[in-house]
Amino acid sequence: MTEIHPPAPIRLLSWNLHGFIGRGRAPDLGRTLAAVARLSPDIAALQEVDGRTRLGRGPFAFERLAEGLGYHLAEARTLRGRRPGTDYGHVLWSRWPILEAEMVRLPGGVEPRAAIDARVETPHGPLRILSTHFSLNPRGRRAQARLLAERLAAEPGPALLLGDLNEWRADGAVHRTLSAVLPAFARPRSWPAGRPVAAMDRLYANGGVSLLSGGVDALSVEASDHLPLVCEVTLRGPSSAEATSRRV
Per-residue confidence (pLDDT) for residue 109, from 0 to 100: 73
| Tens-place pLDDT, residues 111-168 | 899 999 999 999 999 999 999 999 999 999 999 999 999 999 999 999 999 999 999 9
Contacts of 143 (CB under 8 A, 6+ apart): 106, 107, 108
| Tens-place pLDDT, residues 66-87 | 999 999 999 999 999 999 999 9
Per-residue confidence (pLDDT) for residue 5, from 0 to 100: 75
Residue 243 pLDDT > 50, yes or no? no
196-232 burial, b at 16+ Cβ within 10 Å, e below that, comes to bebbbbbbbbbbbbbbbebebbeebbebbbbbbbbbb
93-118 burial, b at 16+ Cβ within 10 Å, e below that, comes to bbbeebeebeebebebbeeebbbbbb
∠ CA 163-227-133, rounded to 5°: 20
Distance from chain centroid for Cα 150: 19
Identify the structural domains of the chain with CATH numbers, from first to last.
10-238 (3.60.10.10)
Per-residue confidence (pLDDT) for residue 98, from 0 to 100: 98
CA nearest 17: which of 59, 56, 46? 46
CA nearest 160: which of 133, 183, 193, 194? 183
pLDDT band at 108 (very low <50, low <70, confident <90, very high): confident
| Helix or strand holding residue 150 (H, E) | helix 138-153
